[in-house]
Copies of this chain bind each other. A is one copy, B any other.
Amino acid sequence: MSQNAFDQKKEHILAEIHNNMQDLSPKGTIDELCWPIMNLVNSHPDMITTSSCSGRLSVFVEGNKLHNEEMKSGGKGDGGKWLFVTHKHEDVANWSQNLSEQVVYTTDLQERSLEASARYILYKYEPFILHVKCRDFSTASKLFSTAMACGFRESGIGSNNIVAVRVNIKLDVPIGYLDHSSQKLIFFVSKGYIEQIDGMTLSKFSENTKKMHELYDKIESQIIKPAQEVPVTKAPQETKEERRERKRMEGLLRQQQISREKDGIVVQTDAATQD
């Protein structure tokens, strides 16, 4: 991709972001907790954010399995129904009270088994995610390794030098099902259990915010400031730096593999460290 095309696209996206930030309607806007890191990333001439979510709690009814075999567990899917979504920790407490008229609690499940077509109600915490399009592979690699160094271990580079920055701070809990005949929400966990997982969600919001701050600081110190210090003279090859970067990434991958081994996932060999 030519430099010009990247610059054009960046300009176009920045205009959209600007409009979006001005539009204060609750739906369709970029959640404001992402703004600082987006602005930081976009201050670099070779990066532009293309999508983001600051982290959120959602509760939803799964889509209809009978009519959509491809609907995957864990996602809302077609025909699914949002019961609650928030990006804000202060909205977590008491969310279930808003639904109280539709909810029936039952813990008497021992003797019951749900039909295969049951549509579960899922309670889900998903952490911060950010996609950044980079001008070139070298910039993408730098962002990737910076994210990995902060523990965003599910990050990866996709096509078109787009880096996905991902971390594994999740909750994915079935809490009930939709009763087809009454259309009531049957919760097969107790109110006390809901309070427990709400508390855990609050911890995850905090942990997530901390990780976002770490990432902000690392991107600033490792990528933004160095780029400002050196006047932008695009050398066609930066062999020395690329080598340093590669060595650093090898170290990160080794760390990641050691961590995976600790987690009990079998690692055949630390292939990345023996070049």
Contacts and interface: CB of A to CB of B under 8 A. Distances in A.
Interface of A: 1, 5, 9, 12-13, 16-17, 20, 28-31, 48-53, 56, 58, 72-76, 82, 85, 107-114, 120, 129, 133, 137, 141, 144-145, 148, 151, 154-160, 162, 164, 166, 168-174, 188-193, 195-197, 199-200, 203-204, 207, 246, 249-250, 252-253, 257, 260, 262-272, 274-275
Contacts of A164: 154, 156
Nearest to A75: B263
B196 A114 contact: yes
Contact of A154 (B154, B160, B173, B263): B154
Contact of A271 (B114, B162, B171, B274): B162
Contacts of A137: 137
Contact of A74 (B145, B160, B170): B170
B265 A196 contact: no
A260 B51 CA distance: 9
A12 B112 CA distance: 53
Contact of A170 (B148, B170, B250, B269): B170
B160 A250 contact: yes
A265 B51 contact: yes
Given A51-B257, A145-B159, 8 more contacts: A51-B260, A109-B195, A114-B199, A120-B200, A154-B164, A156-B156, A159-B249, A189-B193
A112 to B, nearest CB: 7
Contact of A51 (B9, B31, B168, B266): B266
A272 B51 CA distance: 11
A63 to B, nearest CB: 10
A231 to B, nearest CB: 27
Contacts of A1: 275
Max chain B C-beta neighbours (<10 A), residue from A51, A157, A195, A274 = A51
Given A109-B193, A158-B156, A160-B249, A48 B271 contact: yes
Q: Which of A31, A257, A265 has the most CB of B within 10 A?
A: A265
A75 B107 CA distance: 28
18 contacts: A9-B275, A30-B266, A49-B268, A50-B268, A50-B271, A51-B257, A58-B264, A72-B151, A72-B168, A73-B204, A73-B207, A74-B168, A76-B262, A110-B190, A154-B156, A159-B249, A160-B271, A174-B200
A191 B253 CA distance: 40
A273 to B, nearest CB: 9
B50 A264 contact: no
